[in-house]
């Protein structure tokens, strides 16, 4: 049985209009159904899609939300929307039937109820063959290796990634564009605060780039497929490759000062590297290593993550994570034909090494478990398709 067959004809939040129906939804509906309802992840898809540049975004602690820049009709309505503009709702990967629509576009079908981690072709463990790339990477350095190889082989001419602001100890994430090896490596590694990499789209346009990779957390990787399905137009066209980062949550920037510093005396500018492997791991400049219980960090969960159902970056060409025993490898979920082509060609060129996902069965089991856990955050009152496969009443308030 498919997801669609397993569901009532129409969910509480309605569905996509009938094929003959016109898509009339604008900022007004987006504001009511996504932004103020708690579904908004802050992915900034609506911001880059707006042809009138009237959607602002604050990439700051406690914010990471879009807002309307024009005051004419108030915060909750848009004059351009009233005149027929619908780009923002077409771009939003939390509006109405976003999951099924992106699935249909990418895979020609909706996911099955038991496909909690989304549709995929292969799961492998990968790492960059080049030690320098590997050492810069968070896990196996696969994402950086992909970007470098794709730049060299003409798949892309730039990548929307995340840099760190300032010099040493500047742990504030900043979306930006990487167009060469040095920039790719400068952006490598994970920040566990939010970085709306989609916002680097404008910089890519200014640089005249036309073949982009979007690297982003799960919420961001649905932006392209939803835009393509709902025919946003030229905005989605330059996004050629979608690389996802598995994600159960991101934290508000205040975590550094309010928990790491105040309780543990760990100064932000002394943190060298972070990772999350069941606990929050912190390596300090002086060689010290600390672990902070994840439960303690929950109070700093970013608002936009609290109802997010997508752990496994289900709409990426290639999704990547660091769970499992093989901590120095990247767990790699290959979803699309393009993703498979890139991984196969990189293996043939010897720029990555791989071993079968079965080498770490615990990682795959954990991926499914965490995918189900995240999915159970999706509220009953929103589009029902997303909860397909979950036990009735399944809930996760983490």
Ligand X SMILES: Cc1cc2nc3c(=O)[nH]c(=O)nc-3n(C[C@H](O)[C@H](O)[C@H](O)COP(=O)(O)OP(=O)(O)OC[C@H]3O[C@@H](n4cnc5c(N)ncnc54)[C@H](O)[C@@H]3O)c2cc1C
Please give the residue ranges that form the binding site for ligand SF4 (CB under 6 A): 30, 34-35, 40-46, 66, 91-92, 94, 194, 217-219, 247-250, 304-305, 308, 310
Coil vs helix vs strand at 213: strand
Q: In the stretch 196-225, what mask flags binding to ligand X with x, by CB under 6 A?
A: -x-----------------xxx--------
Residue at token pair 């576009």: 105
Of residues 359 and 390, the one with the C-beta less far from ligand SF4 = 390
**Binding partner selected for residue 218 from ligand X, ligand SF4, none, CB under the kind-specific 5 to 8 Å limit:** ligand SF4
* The token pair that represents 384 in the structure block: 């029902």
Q: Could you tell me the smallest distance in angstroms from the CB atom of residue 169 to ligand SF4?
A: 23
Are 80 and 73 in contact by the 8 Å Cβ rule? The answer is: no
**Gyration radius of the chain's alpha carbons:** 20
Q: Could you tell me the smallest distance in angstroms from the CB atom of residue 260 to ligand X?
A: 16
Of residues 213 and 346, the one with the C-beta less far from ligand SF4 = 213
Q: Could you tell me the smallest distance in angstroms from the CB atom of residue 323 to ligand SF4?
A: 14
**Binding partner selected for residue 11 from ligand X, ligand SF4, none, CB under the kind-specific 5 to 8 Å limit:** none
Are 187 and 181 in contact by the 8 Å Cβ rule? The answer is: no
Are 213 and 150 in contact by the 8 Å Cβ rule? The answer is: yes
Measured between alpha carbons, how far is 56 from 50 in angstroms, rounded to an integer? 10
Residues 6+ apart with CB under 8 A from 256: 171, 268, 271
Q: Does residue 137 bind ligand X (CB under 6 A)? A: yes
Q: Could you tell me the smallest distance in angstroms from the CB atom of residue 113 to ligand SF4?
A: 21
**Binding partner selected for residue 46 from ligand X, ligand SF4, none, CB under the kind-specific 5 to 8 Å limit:** ligand SF4
Are 133 and 140 in contact by the 8 Å Cβ rule? The answer is: no
Q: How many residues does the chain have?
A: 398
Residues 57-116 that bind ligand X (CB under 6 A): none
Q: In the stretch 337-376, what mask flags binding to ligand X with x, by CB under 6 A?
A: ----------------------------------------
Query: Which among 43-51, 140-148, 230-238, 253-261 is the span making contact with ligand X, rule CB under 6 A?
Result: 140-148
Q: Does residue 142 bind ligand X (CB under 6 A)? A: yes
Q: Could you tell me the smallest distance in angstroms from the CB atom of residue 12 to ligand X?
A: 29
Q: Does residue 321 bind ligand X (CB under 6 A)? A: yes
Residues 6+ apart with CB under 8 A from 89: 23, 25, 26, 27, 29, 30, 46, 95, 96
**How deeply is 220 buried, as exposed, middle or buried, from its count of CB atoms within 10 A (0-12, 13-18, 19+)?**
buried
Torsion angle defined by CA atoms of residues 376, 382, 387 and 393, in that order, rounded to the nearest 10 degrees: 60
Measured between alpha carbons, how far is 267 from 56 in angstroms, rounded to an integer? 32
The contact set with ligand X (CB under 6 A) reads 137-144, 161-162, 173, 187-192, 195, 197, 215-217, 245-248, 250, 276, 320-323, 330
């Amino acid at each position: 049985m498919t997801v669609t067959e397993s569901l009532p004809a129409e969910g509480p939040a309605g569905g996509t209009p009938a094929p003959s129906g016109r898509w009339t939804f604008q900022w007004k509906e987006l504001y009511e159904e996504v932004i103020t309802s708690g579904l908004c992840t802050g992915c900034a898809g609506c911001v880059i899609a707006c042809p009138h540049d009237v959607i602002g975004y604050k990439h700051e602690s406690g914010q990471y939300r879009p807002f309307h820049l024009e005051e004419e009709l108030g915060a909750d309505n848009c004059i351009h929307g009233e005149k027929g503009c619908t780009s923002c709702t077409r771009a939003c990967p939390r509006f109405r039937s976003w999951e099924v629509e992106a699935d249909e576009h990418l895979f020609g079908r909706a996911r099955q109820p038991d496909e909690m981690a989304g549709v995929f072709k292969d799961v492998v463990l990968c790492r960059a063959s080049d030690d320098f790339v590997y050492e810069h990477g968070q896990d196996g350095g696969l994402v950086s290796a992909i970007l470098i190889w794709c730049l060299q082989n003409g798949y892309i001419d730039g990548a929307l990634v995340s840099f760190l602001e300032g010099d040493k100890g500047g742990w504030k994430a900043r979306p930006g564009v990487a167009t060469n090896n040095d920039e790719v490596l400068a952006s490598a590694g994970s920040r566990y605060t939010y970085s709306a990499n989609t916002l680097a789209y404008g910089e890519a346009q200014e640089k005249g780039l036309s073949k982009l990779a979007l690297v982003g957390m799960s919420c961001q990787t649905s932006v392209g497929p939803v835009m393509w399905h709902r025919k946003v137009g030229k905005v989605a066209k330059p996004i050629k490759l979608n690389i996802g980062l598995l994600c159960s949550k991101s934290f508000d920037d205040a975590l550094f000062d309010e928990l790491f510093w105040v309780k543990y005396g760990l100064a932000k500018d002394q943190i060298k590297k972070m990772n999350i492997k069941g606990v929050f791991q912190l390596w300090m400049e002086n060689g010290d290593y600390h672990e902070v219980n994840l439960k303690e960090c929950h109070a700093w969960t970013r608002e936009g993550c609290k109802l997010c159902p997508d752990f496994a970056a289900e709409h990426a060409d290639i999704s990547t994570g660091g769970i499992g025993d093989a901590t120095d490898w990247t767990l790699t979920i290959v979803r699309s034909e393009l993703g498979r082509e890139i991984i196969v060609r990189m293996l043939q060129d010897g720029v990555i090494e791989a071993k079968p996902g079965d080498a770490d069965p615990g990682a795959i089991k954990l991926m499914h478990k965490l995918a189900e856990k995240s999915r159970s955050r999706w509220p009953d009152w929103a589009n029902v398709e997303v909860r397909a496969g979950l036990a009735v009443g399944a809930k996760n308030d983490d």
